[in-house]
Amino acid sequence: GEDVEQSLFLSVREGDSSVINCTYTDSSSTYLYWYKQEPGAGLQLLTYIFSNMDMKQDQRLTVLLNKKDKHLSLRIADTQTGDSAIYFCASTSGNTPLVFGKGTRLSVIA
């Protein structure tokens, strides 16, 4: 079945850019998602990208998709302490529920 992989930890300094990476295995994935989870809370949808797009930008967030390499990244510009959270990548091919990675814990150092 589909598998989604992410690195577990990322630490950046406040004001720097953060890049969180994700790889997936299903070449028929149609949508790819990024969710954010703050401590003790549910998952918040940050953004998503359709598989026929290479890039999507939304304020400080930039999503890059390399469909050939099945690689997705989330760049957060000017990272703030409020960005500290777990970030989940997820994919779907439309036939089954979303498949989530294990999450990347982003720590922002002031």
Are 18 and 12 spatial neighbours (Cβ–Cβ below 8 Å)?
yes
String of b and e for 55-75 (b: at least 16 CB within 10 Å)? Answer: eeeeeebbbbbeeeebebbbb
What is the spatial distance between Cα 102 and Cα 99, in angstroms, rounded to a whole number?
10
| Stretch in the footprint of other proteins (CB under 8 A) among 18-26, 44-52, 53-61, 68-76 | 44-52
Binding mask 72-91 for other proteins (x = CB under 8 A): --------------x-x---
Among 27, 102, 107, 109, binds other proteins (CB under 8 A): 102
Instruction: For residue 40, state whether it binds other proteins (rule: CB under 8 A).
Output: yes
Among 2, 48, 51, 73, binds other proteins (CB under 8 A): 48
Instruction: For residue 42, state whether it binds other proteins (rule: CB under 8 A).
Output: yes
Among 24, 49, 103, 108, binds other proteins (CB under 8 A): 103
CA 24 to chain centre: 11
What is the spatial distance between Cα 70 and Cα 23, in angstroms, rounded to a whole number?
6
Please provide residue 37's backbone torsions phi and psi, each rounded to the nearest 5 degrees: -125, 115
Which residues of this chain interact with other proteins, rule CB under 8 A? 8, 30-31, 33, 35, 39-45, 48, 86, 88, 92, 94, 97-98, 100, 102-103
